[in-house]
Structure 1
Amino acid sequence: MQKIRISLLVRVIIAIAAGVLLGQFLPKEIARIFVTFNSLFGNFLTFVIPLIIVGLVTPAIGELGKGAGRLLLITALIAYGSTLFSGFFTYFSGMSIFPHILPAHSELSAMDNPEDFLLKPYFSVAMPAPIEVMTSLLLSFCIGLGLSSIKGNTLREAFNDFKEIISRLIAVIIIPLLPLHIFGIFLNMTVSGQVMEVITLFLKVILVIFVLHVVLLLLQFSIAGIVAKKNPFKLLRTMLPAYVTALGTQSSAATIPVTLGQVKKNGVRESIATFVVPLCATIHLSGSTMKIVACAMAIMLMTGMPVTFTEYGGFIMMLGITMVAAPGVPGGAIMAALGLLESMLGFNETLQALMIALYIAMDSFGTACNVTGDGAIAIVVNKIAGKDK
């Protein structure tokens, strides 16, 4: 019999529902078993986050610089600019909307210090990170830039092997255990009487982000239409098959063939399309950036944490670089961003778990936004690189 595969999104939804349901009657002594697992898993994430950053960011930067030419530079700058635009657009939109729909003094403020109201684990094992998060980022940038400027391949191949190890660690261990981790968080919150407020606020945040990502696509294709002197709505409509495909696959890489076909229908030359689309599938994650920025802001407002432009601006710029290294697995972008959430915004284990749940709940829409936006970038690069044929 063919093995039935359940998507990560479905598993997360089942985990949340099970946590809420079982939390109504499960004895605290049993619930603490899952809380203990959460403690161990959270500590393991703390240990592995710097390794994820080094293993993913270093080879990504090294490959971007390898054989760098004008077209690569143009595409990378536009992709990074689009990601930054998405981040700051989301920040200003969120600051205009979220304070009016999210409670200013929510009971969730205790989540910033969860030990005050959540169940405690039976035991905990300290797993200190080998290096600090910011140190790992700086190390990745330095080594990655160095790899892009030398001819030797020995160190580059070593980091590519390390990247494979980290990618497999994420795909085989971390991602499969995430639903159980999220189950434990929601079980704990249900036992502690906080869960219904969390779910209600989650639905509001998801609705806002969906509307914002539609607006973002309209803005991206309006810019592309102005540059190429074409009807932006027609350009966007042509990309809809890629959007729908990405909704189903939840993978930018798996959608590349469809994206390529639709980009060519928008008048992009084949030589440009075959270069830009696969590259942007890796380095352009404007939709994922939007989800992370909006979800993090919502959680900070819900828990009473201060949200300042100075702090958040730095987070968005660093996030844009980190997204280049996001592994091509469902939920990979949020895993790559956990280090920044912890080091720059002060997210603890509980807030990180809430962040993961929120992000994965919208994973399909974020991927679809990424892929469709790739079409807008291809149009702009095609115009800059030369006259349309």
Structure 2
Amino acid sequence: MLRNIGLLPKIIVAIILGILFGSFSPDSFIRVFATFNGIFGNFLSFVIPLIILGFIVPGIGSLGKGAGKLIGWTAAIAYFSTILAGTVAFFVGQAVLPQLLTGQSLVDAENPEEFLLSSYFEVEIPPIMNVVSALILAFVIGIGLSVLKEKALYHVFVDFQKIIEKLINNVIIPLLPFHIFGIFANMTFGGQVQTIVSLFAKVFVLIVILHITYLLILYLSSGTVAKKNPFQLLKTMSPAYFTALGTQSSAATIPVTLAQAKKTGVKESVAEFTIPLLANIHLAGSTITLVISSMGVMLLSGNLPTFAEYLPFILMLAVTMIAAPGVPGGAVMAALGLLEAMLHFDQTMISLMIALYLAQDSLGTATNVTGDGAITVFVNRWIKERKEKEEKVQQAG
């Protein structure tokens, strides 16, 4: 029965139950889950480098295949869109979040762990390599595979990616509700729940507004370039948006996204090429969610990040999420290493990020796939202009 319930309802139930049990349970009960959270958190730290290798290597390696310039232009537009989304989210967050979260803080002490009950015991699970080493190794191998003609090693990493996907689907995702239950029970016990619930509500509203605004920017731009009604384009792509809300997966929504993209008037061959590619490399909505959520968590922890500190994170985020698996929570799993290495998130902050992101995952995914339609219109226009120039050159010759 529980297997048929989606991840989002499980997360919501876990948060509610965590708050309820944290309000009246004895500290011995809370410490049981604190022990579980400690072990699970260490396991996540162990898995993060493996996730980085499993996602990034096949993702970058696959970009070497196919139609050369078309891949390059599509990837460049998608990458620019993702970075722009993250940048817009940062400046909006910097302007709005401090006012929304005025007077709110996770702790009064310098150490954010002081309000949490400690575990009964700890199990150390050291990672096989640190996050930075995993990122560099993934880029080196991925770029190398993209230029090699032999694909034996590439297929090895594709199989490794499948193993990591199964690990996420069958171990991490099923255990996340228990992890989040433990975090919220512990925070409620420590008197922090009001601050966290307030953060969730305010961040949720801000992210929804940003998603809608960014989609309008994308479609106003693509409609202007293609000389088409942007609102009609957006209406045509809306079935993909609502399908993604239910599936929480860009990959699972590809058939609907592809069908609707063809209805926008782009060439079928263009849509058939760009939509599957963009499902893996264009994550503007997820980036908005990750940036705003991480800024909210940092502000509650007493930090106000500058753009100079955040830009490298956004640039790396746009690459790291390439080929994140088509499963709920794939983007935040891929981003955990960056949050730890570049923004210095501890286990408590990472746990809050996972909860914040998963509560809004479907909205980010819906924005991702709907934005794919706008980028397909851009690419279709570029191909059309290129052919027109070639025809003029031939006629002049």
Q: TM-score, normalised by structure 2?
A: 0.95
The CA deviation at 1:68 is 5.1
Corresponding letter in the other structure for 2:230: P
| Identity percentage of aligned residues | 55
Q: Indicate yes or no: 2:322 matched with 1:285.
A: no
Q: Indicate yes or no: 2:376 matched with 1:367.
A: no
Distance 1:89 1:69, change over 3 A: same
The answer as to whether partners of 2:83 and 2:318 remain within 8 angstroms in 1 is yes
Residues 18-56 of structure 1, C-alpha deviations (whole Å, 9 max, x = no match):
100011111101110000000000011111101110111
Secondary structure class of the residue paired with 2:24 = coil
Cα distance in 1 between the residues matched to 2:127 and 2:52: 12
Distance 1:117 1:349, change over 3 A: same
Cα distance in 1 between the residues matched to 2:310 and 2:5: 35
Corresponding letter in the other structure for 1:124: E
1:136-175 matches, cutoff 5 A: 136-175=134-173
The answer as to whether partners of 1:110 and 1:117 remain within 8 angstroms in 2 is no
The answer as to whether partners of 1:110 and 1:303 remain within 8 angstroms in 2 is no
Alignment match of 1:309 (pick from 289, 307, 310): 307
Runs of 4+ in 1 over 2 A off after TM superposition: 109-115
Distance 1:82 1:255, change over 3 A: same
Distance 1:265 1:112, change over 3 A: farther
The match for 2:217 is 219
Distance 1:53 1:39, change over 3 A: same
Q: What is the count of residue pairs matched by the alignment?
A: 387
Corresponding letter in the other structure for 1:224: S
The answer as to whether partners of 1:247 and 1:365 remain within 8 angstroms in 2 is yes
The match for 2:117 is 119
The match for 1:45 is 44
In the alignment, structure 1 segments of 5+ residues that lack a partner are none
66-75 vs 166-175, which deviates more?
66-75
The match for 2:10 is 11
Residues 245-264 of structure 1, C-alpha deviations (whole Å, 9 max, x = no match):
11112111121121112111
The match for 1:250 is 248
Cα distance in 2 between the residues matched to 1:127 and 1:367: 32
The CA deviation at 1:114 is 3.1
Secondary structure class of the residue paired with 2:129 = coil
The answer as to whether partners of 2:112 and 2:301 remain within 8 angstroms in 1 is no
The CA deviation at 1:3 is 7.7
In the alignment, structure 2 segments of 5+ residues that lack a partner are 389-397
The CA deviation at 1:195 is 0.5
Corresponding letter in the other structure for 2:157: F
The answer as to whether partners of 2:249 and 2:328 remain within 8 angstroms in 1 is yes
Residues 183-232 of structure 1, C-alpha deviations (whole Å, 9 max, x = no match):
00000001111112210121011001100100000000011011101111
Secondary structure class of the residue paired with 1:240 = helix
Distance 1:96 1:108, change over 3 A: same
Cα distance in 2 between the residues matched to 1:160 and 1:326: 12
Cα distance in 2 between the residues matched to 1:176 and 1:337: 19
